[in-house]
Amino acid sequence: MKFKAILTDYGVALLERRFVPAFEKIGKTCHVYLTRVHITLLHNVLNADGVQAVAQFSREVIFDDYQISSQNDDRIAFTVDLTLLSRALKSSVSMDGDKLLVKLVRKRPSLAEGRLPYLTFESKGHRSAIIQDVPISQPLNRIDVQELQSSLDMAQALPRTLVQVPDLQQLQGLVDRLGKVGDVLEVGVTQYGDLHLQVSTPMVSIGSEYQKLRVIGVRAEPSSSEASSSTRRLQLALQKEEASAVSVSMKHFAKSLQCYLTKPDASFCGVAPDDACLLMLFQYFKPGTRQTDNTISLHYRLPVLDQGRP
C-alpha cells in the first residue's frame, strides 16, 4: 500500500479554509477515501443515525504528482481526527514552503511500540522544513472499503425534485428562531419550487414558506386557485403527489447549514425517494464564471424522524 502526492495551493486552501472546518462542525473524525481519480471526505456514512456528509474532489484539484497503489484496486481509506488534520494544514500554510508533500507512512511512536500508520506532511520552506505526522486509523481492509464504496454509491441517488434554497445565512437566522420553539423541523418541498419550513407544538405552529424557487428535476405548475395558507397549499400539493414532506431533527438541519463555510455558489434541498432522507446538495462554480465546477461536490443527508408528514 502506497500513497504520495504534492498538495496544490488551491487544494490546501479548499481543505484548510473551507471543507475541513465545515466537517469539524458536524463531527470529530471523518473517513478519507483515496482512489485513482477522486479524493473523498465522508462523515458518518456507515451509520444510519446523525448527519451524513460527503465531499468529493477530482484528484487534480487537490494534488499534483499523485501516486497511489494498493492490492484493493488502488483504493485506500482510513479515519482521521479532523482537529489534527486542520492543525497540520494550518501549519503547512504558515510555513510558506515551496511544496507540501503528503504521504502515508508507518512509524514507531517509541521503541516499545509497534509501527503505526500516519499521514505525514512535509513542508519545505526557504530557510527551514517541518515534518508533521498525523495519526490515522489502520487502513480499511478490502471488505470495509467495499462497504464504504457501497454506502457512497447509495448516497448518489438524488431526489426527483430539488429546490434552490435561499441565502444560507438568512436561512440560519430563521432556523435559530424556529429552534427556540421546537426540536423537530417539518420540511416540505413542492414541484412548484416552494420550500416549507415549520415547527409545530401543542401550543403553536410557526414557520416560513419560500415560493417560486429554482427547480431541478421534476417540476409542475401550481393550480390557478391557490389556497389561502401555506399549510393548505402544501397539503394540496401532497394530495396531488406533487410534493414531499418529512420531519427532521432541528439540530441536524442547523448542522447542515454550516456548509456555508465551504462557500457554495448554490444550495438545493430535496426529499430522497421513499422519504428515505432529506438531502442538502451544494453547487460550486468555476472561478469567475457561472459554470458548474464538476470537480467539487458536497452533499449532506439528514435522517427522517417518525413524526409523519406535516
pLDDT tens for residues 47-66? 878 899 999 999 999 999 99
Least confident window among 109-118, 140-149, 259-268: 109-118
Residue 174 has a pLDDT of 92
Instruction: Check residue 16 and report its DSSP letter.
Output: I
Distance CA 252, CA 236 (A): 28
Residue 256: which pLDDT band, with cuts at 50, 70 and 90? very high
Question: What's the first-to-final CA gap in the chain, in angstroms?
Answer: 51
Q: Label residue 125 by pLDDT band (50, 70, 90).
A: low
- Sequence-distant (6+) residues with CB within 8 A of 31 are 40, 41, 42, 43, 45, 77, 78, 79, 140, 148
> pTM value?
0.91
CA distance 200 to 278: 18
Q: What is the architecture, at CATH level 2, of domain 161-303?
A: Box (3.70)
pLDDT tens for each residue of 158-167:
899 999 998 8
Structure-block grid coordinates of residue 86: 486542520
pLDDT class of 238 with cuts at 50, 70, 90: very high
Question: If pLDDT is split at 50, 70 and 90, which confidence band does 97 have?
Answer: low
Query: Which pLDDT belongs to residue 130?
Result: 83
Examine the pLDDT at 129 and tell me if it is beyond 80. no
Q: Does domain 2-154 have CATH number 3.40.50.970?
A: no
Domains 2-154 and 161-303 share a fold: yes
- pLDDT of 100 > 50? The answer is yes
Please provide the DSSP assignment of 21-32 as one string.
HHHHTT-SEEEE
* Interatomic CA distance for residues 166 and 120, integer angstroms: 40
User: Averaged over 268-280, what is the pLDDT?
Assistant: 94
Domain ranges of the chain: 2-154, 161-303
Query: Helix (H, G, I), strand (E, B), or coil: what is residue 226?
Result: coil
What is the pLDDT at residue 115?
Answer: 86
